[in-house]
Amino acid sequence: MKFLDLAKVYIRSGAGGAGSVSFRREKYIEFGGPDGGDGGRGGDVVAEAVEGLNTLIDFRYQQHFFARNGQHGMGRQRTGAGGDDIILRVPVGTEILEEDQETVIADLTEVGQRVVLARGGNGGFGNLHFKSSTNRAPRNANPGQPGVERTIWLRLKLIADGGLVGLPNAGKSTFLAATSNARPKIADYPFTTLHPNLGVVGVDGREFVMADIPGLIEGASEGRGIGDRFLGHIERCSVLLHLIDATAVDVVADAQTVLDELAAYSPVLMDKPRITALNKIDAVDAETLEATRALLADTLGTEVMLMSGATGKGVQEVLRALWTRIAPSREVAKKDDGAWRP
């Protein structure tokens, strides 16, 4: 299945049915009076977050969604049938934006969440509705209200507990493959990861979800490489794992490049808890590794962990460090949904 995280969609709710002008005509009732029914209500356009989806690719092939119109009213006081709603089934984590791609209409972060994007028009009144003591035979009825037509954008931000960031070939995909059942593409050239990957990671009997996004390079915020278009997928993460290639020529410059691109994208990402780890330590001698670690820790002002995704050395320690940052956010989420108990 192809990955798509942004889609433009055209929607239109159903128009209401027209009211009916009708009179009761029966053989032995001389003055039957009006009996025109009201028109039916038009269908709504609804978005719903569902399980089992992690891409918006379906909206590449169908971009127009029109709800049904309500039926017109009929004689014998019969109201027209309402139009059927149309439901846009989207992955959990989908943001719905106005046409300007900035104004957020809704953010669907839980399974089953629904939002009405365009309400159907009300049906028009039939002439029975206008009957009064002074107007015993009204010959007028209302047309139905028109539907609402609008253009919206769907933007998917994957739901994950932790996010992997780093330069291309920092070992992010290797780490994800070594700690989960995910099988991202792994090769010895840059940009093997072209779209985000998710993996369920287990440590000490606990599980959490990690997201691997394509590598960042200098100038990604200006569109270089793949750019920063996938950084939105880690905005919801509780913690970021910043992987740095220990075999790089200038480790400090590489680390700073990633931090600069995160800051250029959003201050929110810079404020998130972050774990820094030197990867590929199996390819560096102990003396050089310790000097690099000390220099990096001093420059960044943070603890630097050591690990090797290829051999597994230090991986469990990194996972435990990630869990210590994720666990508090899990408790907050439980309190918010009312399921938490002291």
Query: Which positions make up the binding site for Mg(2+)?
Result: 173, 193
Query: Which positions make up the binding site for GTP?
Result: 166-173, 191-195, 212-215, 279-282, 308-310
3-state secondary structure of 283: helix
Residue 109 to residue 47: CA distance in whole angstroms: 12
Residue 218 to residue 328: CA distance in whole angstroms: 33
Question: Strand pairing of 162-165 and 206-212?
Answer: parallel
Q: Which residues pair with 49 in a beta bridge?
A: 90
Strands (E), the chain: 6-12, 45-50, 64-66, 86-91, 94-97, 104-108, 114-118, 149-156, 162-165, 197-203, 206-212, 239-245, 274-279, 304-306
Residue 220 to residue 4: CA distance in whole angstroms: 19
Is the separation of the CB atoms in 39 and 77 below 8 Å? no
| Residues contacting residue 144 through CB under 8 Å, at least 6 positions apart | 15, 16, 17, 18, 19, 39, 42, 69, 70, 72, 121, 122, 123, 124
Query: Which positions make up the binding site?
Result: 166-173, 191-195, 212-215, 279-282, 308-310
End-to-end Cα distance, the chain: 42
